[in-house]
Structure 1
């Protein structure tokens, strides 16, 4: 129990300060309820030779604590603040998200306090090495959008951050993509709520863009036929000029995955060089 007290002092106790540090260091937050560290957490560590080492208690290992700090910003949530936390998410998050939030497991959150680690992971015992490899992310790709969101939460900051997370999913491991997409959905739903509550001069264009980004999410989850079917519901003449480049990218990438060379050639001329590169990075990642 003495060591647990030491860990509580070493890990951050101010969530607000931890958020700032995570943004500055381009890391995710490694979050636990303070009461959960009062009990041992047995983990498996894979050494450089591939050997499995059983560590009886994560919280008593200085070496593992160092690894946590190298890859994340660890912070303990105060149990007395639970009601405030839950009030914030109770009507906005899924049942599984709330269950994960309530339990004693490790929660990986972004610098805004939204949880990424929603997939089932066995804690019997926890494979610490695999866990760190899965969730240790360099979020510099998202830094500007996260900063904009923290400065002012509105339709645009929520939408651009949600969209950027979808882009980011291209560069993450296949096993993590669904969780990244679910995280992006939090921001896109928030943007959608702003659209419903406020009037925007170009509201139809924004709604169309939101729907297209949702199609983009399906593409990242490797559902090209579903993407094509959804896009075919759109009339090419009705698509706003602002959104035509995204439509072209989605069509091109989906047909490329499907190896439909005729339609690939048809759409390739409408895709920018930047989007072509992004499409090829994504397609190549599917072949691994």
Structure 2
């Protein structure tokens, strides 16, 4: 019953926000709405709305238009709502939100979190556009082109993680983000991979909560997932070098198919089809298709 009422509430919110085009003021509700709409969250600190926030945007004829204030323009607001769920977050939330990330994020990430710029977040509050900066005016069109992700592809993994943060939900979400990055443009791909890395790091921290006898296998699985990241960054030779460092007796049985997948994709990406052939029989048809996608990216 609670789930039905929540869905009804979200429908009402969607109707109201779509008509009024006012930015949301509650981060958690914005995240819930973004989950339903398969969108990213566009977030700013409340203090930035107390002064004019000039931006530029391309109109329907491709001309660059200067907008005096992002928060008051009636043409930009619908455009943002079409691609994101925008939310203004109170400065009172800063301390609590910062406390959750201060020990587990890079300084560059923390700087982005702290500044006055627009932050594109996933529904769990992790920033995607950490590496995106502008010297002059924020380009809304560029933000949309690079970060307006349809998250339907990872919807199940996002939901599982939101409902229960454990090793497996974090791991499968990290893995799915890597899969999603394969379909993105190169610059956006790098940002998605960095976002995935946040979940990989969390996965490693969550190993301690699993059964002790599973720790070795889970740690190795995390290390292998990190290597998949390098395949997507077009560094297959590094993957091969790292895999070769793992001794045969160190490979956990349950991780052998994943290792075979990495070897196959890496060797094929470097044009060594003969070396790749011995691993092919150990790979599922689904992962063979994924490997082919990676191979195509490396050509």
| Same structural fold, with TM-score higher than 0.5 when normalized by the shorter chain | yes
Equivalent in 58, 67, 70 of residue 46 of structure 1? 58
**Deviation per residue, 1:228-259 (Å, 9 max, x gap):** 10011123454233212211221111122211
Partner of 1:138: 150
The number of aligned residues is 280
Question: Which residue of structure 1 lines up, in the alignment, with residue 212 of structure 2?
Answer: 200
Aligned residue for 2:89? 77
TM (norm. structure 2) is 0.87
What's 2:227 paired with? 215
What is the CA distance between 1:198 and its match in structure 2?
A: 5.0
Distance 1:9 1:277, change over 3 A: closer
Q: Distance in 2 between matches of 1:76 and 1:50?
A: 29
**3-state SS of paired residue (1:58):** coil
Aligned to 1:102: 114
Partner Cα distance (1:203, 1:213) in 2: 15
Cα shift readout 1:165-216 (whole Å, capped 9, x = no counterpart):
1222112221022221221122222221122355433222111111100111
The residue aligned with 1:25 is 37
Cα 1:271–1:9, aligned 2, differ >3 Å: closer, same or farther?
closer
* Structure 1 CA distance for aligned equivalents of residues 81 and 173 of structure 2: 25
Q: Which residue of 1 aligns with 2:256?
A: 244
From 230, 234, 241, the equivalent of 1:229 is 241
Q: Distance in 2 between matches of 1:66 and 1:284?
A: 37
**Distance of aligned partners of 1:263 and 1:48 in 2 relative to their CA distance in 1, 3 Å threshold:** farther
Q: Secondary structure at the match of 1:59?
A: coil
Gaps of 5+ in 2: 1-19
CA distance in 1 between partners of 2:60 and 2:254 (Å) = 50
Q: Which whole-Å deviations, capped at 9, do the CAs of 1:117-171 have from their partners, x for residues lacking one?
A: 1013214122221111100001111111111111111222222212221222112
- 8 Å Cα contact 1:28/1:73 also seen in 2: yes
Secondary structure of the 2:103 match is coil
Q: How does 1:152-163 map to 2 (within 5 A)?
A: 152-163=164-175
Q: For residues 195 and 178 of structure 2, what CA distance do their matches in structure 1 show?
A: 9
Whether 1:253 aligns to 2:228 is no
- When the two structures are superposed, what TM-score results if normalisation uses the length of structure 1? 0.90
What CA distance in whole angstroms lies between the structure 1 residues aligned with 2:197 and 2:111? 18
Distance 1:10 1:47 in 2: 21
Query: Helix, strand or coil: the match of 1:45?
Result: strand
Kept in 2, the 8 Å contact 1:171–1:282? The answer is no
